[in-house]
Amino acid sequence: MYFTKNESRLTARRQNETIMIEAWGRDALRVRVTRSADFTGNNAALSPVESSALISENERGAVITNGRISCTVSNNGDLEFFKNGASILKEYMRDWGDTNEHSPSMKFRAREFKPVSGNDYEITARFEASDEEKIFGMGQYQQPNLDLKGCVLELAQRNSQISVPFYLSSKGYGFLWNNAGIGEVMFGANYTQWHSKLSEELDYWITAGDTPKKIIENYTAVVGRAPEFPENALGLWQCKLRYRTQDEVLEVAREYKRRGIPLDVIVIDFFHWIRQGDWSFDPEYWPDPKAMLDELKAMGVRCMVSIWPTVDRKSVNFWEMLDKGLFIRTERGSIQCFDFQGDTVIYDALNPEAREFIWSKAKENYYKNGIDMFWLDEAEPEYSAYDYEHYRHYTGPALKVGNSYAKAHAKAFYDGMTAEGQTDIVNLIRCAWVGSQKYAALVWSGDIKSTFTALRDQLSAGLNIGIAGIPWWVTDTGGFFGDVTDEHFNELLIRWFQFSAFCPVLRMHGDRGPHNIPKLSDLDYGGGFSDTGQPNELWSYGEDVYKILKKYLDIRLSMKDYIKSVMDEASENGSPVIRTMFYEFPNDGMCWDIADQYMFGPKYLVAPILYQGMTERAVYLPDGKWKSIHDGAVYDGGQTITAAAPLEIIPVFERL
């Protein structure tokens, strides 16, 4: 092994492989490995930072240290990472020349580069597993597992699945797979294995910290943090599939005003346009958007409008975009990517010219009339078939770069709105990647079922995506696919609303069946042809339900100053808004095992009701004093209590 070094970087060369390890942020190292002539220079999710390191050589190899973290490189090229001198992560090797005590006969290498074409490889990286280690983060997966040890995760974006490949370990480190390509990670009991289907080089980043909060602070310092969250979006967001006319929107807003219920945001969903890709209102059903928006503004209500990245071949923008090469390309046959209610292609957010184009249309047709919030739906992007090898972007094959699409899509609108001087930016989006938070992305958990099973999945999803660096997160309250005639729907809605009241954003949304409301038009296009669901306002489910929902909206509104302070903390140090118990109590071993309760910021412990018919539940209270927000009873911490939870109560305790 041949070593070279400078003030921040250690380079090691052996045979046809080059390893570069450099200080990158506080207590952090970036590792890149290539089999090409040189490195690409692509920083992927990482922002450039100036750091220095201590580097030394010895008879066994070399060591690079940056604060609490260090990495040893053996003369065989094996890597091992240490925090304050204690091993935290080691490459998995079972090959000749390996220095561990295991058999070398299997010829497992820690790093494998399988040639695909040119400078591209299928790349595999393996690390030793630790029995006592717990793993959290990685974005949003529709499963109940909060601790991801033992899980196999696809590194790919789908409707309701979001790959943000950063994890936090109970051993005191954080790890970022700095790769936007399609792949897989297995957090096995025997070893951890990362796999990329198409890459030029291996690239990952690792940081050490004494607490989870410090690890997340180090991580978000190099990938970005959310901006300041606007105060005028901390209350209720009203949405359904779908308001079909401007009169429907105004009628709902007026009823909220008549009832004296503050409404922060009302949302106009899909097919308010004539064709996908028109990015404008159908004038038959939205004849005067500016007048509608002026009235909403006078009531103190912001308006958000749905934007899809899909473009119908009959759209007014199709041929211009085709001629300019602004679409995602297919590798074979038709350029069609998506076939929901139209023969559609998808604009390529990884093309800067395409981002400028879609913003120019949104600015002309929405923003100038007063729309200052955008719902970026379908942002994975959603394909009719998730055959990632079939699609190609401006910057390369989807297999290689596709996971970053949603981040680029969010950037298109954030950059455009910032250029207009807007500061209170928040855009709802259905997908994300590492660093999406810095583009004012409020991520929602996608089109999920209206079931208690789905509700349980959302709790782990929301907690893990917060660990992955994305603090602004929301669900469709009550689930997306639901039927109001289901005998248990009202119970589910109440329990979900109670949970949502203690989430970053409180948003009513869903496709409420049965779908027996006549369409406005017999045409197969335009703002009147698509279905609409049943009413979905607070008062739509009867007086008893209304009273409970209104109670929790009032509780949330009374906490606005507190919620704003938690949002500010997310901007300052990257902390999640909803937090795993161990995030606030890292020295309490019980808190690393709890998956069904959480902290809403540093002050409130929330124990949601996640099962049908449940009217009480166990709640673990860490050390300290805890006061129920419902009856004022004070409890000593360090114990598990049984909390009453009749339908109108979600157990919530204030930390004194």
> pLDDT tens-digit profile of 477-490?
999 999 999 999 99
Greatest Cα pair distance, the chain, in angstroms, is 80
Residue 355 to residue 344: CA distance in whole angstroms: 18
Exposure of 545 in the CB half-sphere (CA atoms within 13 A): 19
Tell whether the model's pLDDT for residue 102 goes beyond 70.
no
Q: How far is CA 474 from CA 25, 168, 242, 325, 516, in A?
A: 30, 22, 18, 34, 28
Lowest mean pLDDT among 117-121, 193-197, 427-431, 641-645: 117-121
- pLDDT tens digits, one per residue of 132-141: 999 999 999 9
Determine contact, residues 111/440, Cβ cutoff 8 Å: no
- DSSP conformation class of 497: H
Angle at 632 between CA 630 and CA 635, to 5 degrees: 110
Q: Which of 231, 69, 177, 185 is nearest to 560 (CA)?
A: 231
**In the predicted model, is pLDDT for residue 109 greater than 90?**
no
- CA 78, CA 126: separation in Å to the nearest integer? 11
Q: Is the pTM of this model over 0.85?
A: yes
Per-residue pLDDT averaged across 260-277, rounded? 97
What are the boundaries of each domain within the chain? 2-208, 236-308+355-385+398-573, 578-655
For residue 568, the number of C-alpha atoms closer than 13 Å in the C-beta half-sphere is 7
Least confident of 74-78, 392-396, 453-457, 638-642: 74-78
User: Other C-beta atoms within 10 Å of 202: how many?
Assistant: 24
Distance of alpha carbon 532 from alpha carbon 519, whole angstroms: 8
Percent over 70 (pLDDT), the chain? 98
pLDDT given for residue 56 in this prediction: 96
Let me know if domain 578-655 sits in CATH 2.60.40.1180.
yes
Is residue 342 scored above 90 in pLDDT?
Answer: no
Q: What is the pLDDT of residue 394?
A: 98
Neighbours of 105 (CB within 10 A): 9
Burial of 1 (0-12, 13-18, 19+ CB in 10 A): middle
Q: Could you please state the CATH topology (level 3) that the domain comprising 236-308+355-385+398-573 is classified under.
A: TIM Barrel (3.20.20)
Q: How confident is the model at residue 100 (pLDDT cuts 50, 70, 90)?
A: low
**Model confidence at 572, in pLDDT bands (50, 70, 90)?**
very high
d(CA 272, CA 276): 9
Q: Which fold has domain 2-208?
A: Immunoglobulin-like (2.60.40)
d(Cα 285, Cα 274) in Å, to the nearest integer?
Answer: 10
- Condensed to tens digits (0 to 9), the pLDDT of residues 23-44 reads 999 999 999 999 999 999 999 9
Confidence at 99, pLDDT banded by 50, 70, 90: low
Residue 74 pLDDT grade (very low, low, confident, very high; cuts 50, 70, 90): very high
Query: Is 80 exceeded by the pLDDT of residue 107?
Result: no
Alpha-carbon gap, residue 614 to 500, rounded angstroms = 18
For 129-221, list the strands marked E by DSSP: 135-140, 152-155, 162-169, 173-177, 183-187, 191-199, 202-208
Mean per-residue pLDDT, 292-312? 98
Residue 94: predicted pLDDT: 80
Which two three-digit tokens encode residue 500?
């949502």
Q: Which residues are catalytic?
A: 377, 380, 447
When the pLDDT of each residue in the chain is averaged and rounded to a whole number, the result is 96
Nearest residue to 194 (alpha-carbon basis) of 78, 134, 111: 111
Judge if 2-208 and 578-655 fold alike in CATH terms: yes
Cis amide linkage into residue 144, ω under 30° from 0: no
The predicted-structure confidence for 154-190, as pLDDT tens digits, reads as follows: 999 999 999 999 999 999 999 999 999 999 999 999 9
